Structure 1
Amino acid sequence: MMRSIAVPLTVLVGLVCASASAQVGASPEIFTGMHRNESIVGRPETATITDGKSFIQLTEEQYRAGNYRPAYETLPTRIVRRLPVRKDSKE
């Protein structure tokens, strides 16, 4: 039973590590900024970058430190608001 779980778990860990290295290795020559996301509930603001095939979310600090184009201030801001769930009263 353990052997049947070990193989998919190893593959999953490999995919997660590859994704993390892709985020670190995103070069500003290839990736460009698409939009920024406002901060929600104390989380930092993020920016989404793309190379035309994949998308990566970075914090504002990572975006600025990576020298991605266009400048962070010129990116359009994506605002997502969620409405609270209403409970219908049934009589």
Structure 2
Amino acid sequence: LPMVCTEQEILKGYFDSREQNGFDYAYQYPGMNKVMQAAGRVIRTVRDEGVIALLDERFLKPDYQALFPREWDEYYEVQLKNVDEVARNFWMGRK
């Protein structure tokens, strides 16, 4: 997701001054656009399968999840201690 920097803060200030949520326009929407582009590199054809791991707790928040495509309705909250098990169970269920 975009890092805090002068350019993003100017963009945030612009939208905030127009009584819009500047954080969304400066950080959340561009960040989610990058996430969607990266996810699109995992699945290229209807026969492709893959795992998209979003490694940040903010993706569990409803305002971020609202930006996910409807096909992402099934997700797993994973912690370091159970990532192997969850990934293994995911692929076993695909057979």
TM-score by length of 2: 0.28
Larger radius of gyration: 1
Q: Which has the higher helix share?
A: 2
Q: Which has the higher strand share?
A: 1
Question: Which structure's relative contact order is higher, taking Cα pairs within 8 Å and 6+ residues apart?
Answer: 1
TM-score by length of 1: 0.29
